[in-house]
Structure 1
Amino acid sequence: MGLLLLHPDLYFRDCQHCLKYIYDEETAELQKFHGEPCKRVVPAPCCNPKHPKFPGSCPKGTAEKPKVLSSKNAKTYQHWKECKAVGQFPDDDIVRQNAAIIQEIVDSVAEHKQLEMMSMMMMGKTMG
């Protein structure tokens, strides 16, 4: 779930397509030349240990074994988002357990993003 929250563009990217075509990892956009997708001439991030943004591997894993939510977990997360959006959860032990786990992950990702932002701000101050 961390990948979905931290890199949604990567989470939803089709791995087979990524193996064939080049994506700009900063913008997550498919690279095009004269309106046509640019074919890969270098290995995809999952295959390239020297990739500048994802050294060693892609956060999604590999095309053969991508790190994505199972169907059951995706449904659970969707249910949590719907309940969270309206502020109403069913009175159910399993729903409470799942909500606690999901909230912990969401909070952890938010903290990670905040620390990353603070780090970037500090780097800017020391460089400027």
Structure 2
Amino acid sequence: QLNPQHTVPTLNDNGFVLTESRAIAGYLVDQYGKNDSLYPKDPKKRALVDQRLYFDIGTLYQRFGDYYYPIAFGGAPSDAEKLKKLEEAFGFLDKFLEGQEWAAGSKITLADISLAATVSTAD
């Protein structure tokens, strides 16, 4: 009843219901974080974190799913074109990381945590 999509994660924080892991993470940092280092309040810094979060779900994870799900759940053979698209997405991530340790700047953010979940799943 809490989530009409019937998916996890679903957060119920004293009656406030929220779904989608990235939205939940942002809310939790805003609501309970001791500082804003994981999800900066500065509009430009936050926009960069958001961009990386959107890249993760809209490009990297999407291409991961497009390539791996048919293999893992349908027994399909490897698709060279889908693999090429996934490798391209990893190339974009490499560009984000050029010259810095973290995807959205000099400190770990929610984007890095989200990206780590996707990358570790692909590994």
TM-score, length basis structure 1: 0.34
TM-score, length basis structure 2: 0.35
Structure number with greater Rg is 1
